Structure 1
Amino acid sequence: MGTNEFTTLEEFKEYTVRYYRNLESVVGKENLYTNEVRVCGYIDMLHVATTLIKLCVIATDPEAPKISKLVKNTSVDINRILELALQFLPYDEVELLDEIKEMCVND
């Protein structure tokens, strides 16, 4: 079936389902979704969380002398934060939007 040969809403839904990969519906909750964040293990997960917290502390009080006794290194791993942000970008869904735009323009 070509992309602009849909005759029913069900056919369209079947076509688009392959693009919706980032958000997964939470069972029993309307309009609530989960998004997978990939980490290499517990240490990496802790590193990401610590970096996010440090970034927030520095952003809200850049003159703070120290963050915590538990956090000895106050440097922020901006690269890791950007990598995390990239995981939230909906590439597949945007590809679908481009295809829908093409269908609408070509009709």
Structure 2
Amino acid sequence: MQERAITRLIELDAKVEEIRAVWEKRLAELERNYKEEEQRIAADLSRKAEDESNAVIRQIMQEAQEEVNNLNEKAAQALENMEQEFQNVHQSLTSKIIEQVFNIERERHG
């Protein structure tokens, strides 16, 4: 009877050892899968963050270019207005100078 109990204990111990080995193997596999999934998620998040950053940068660049274009148009319009004003003032001054020259000549010749 004692021999049988010892044999049974040895069998149970072997079975426990076998189960423990299976569980350790499964645990190692789960840890490996977890680390792979963690790395995949980190890479995914990094890629998404980079994509979103690039999209934001493109949007900012587009808005900046639109603002530059708008400022260039306003500057061109302002320059055109200034040139027109210069032409008007120049024409007016030229007319006044010519008129004064004629007035002086008339006064001289009487």
TM-score (norm 1): 0.24
Higher share of residues assigned helix: 2
Higher share of residues assigned strand: 1
The structure having more radius of gyration, on CA atoms, is 2
Higher relative contact order (CA 8 A, sep 6+): 1
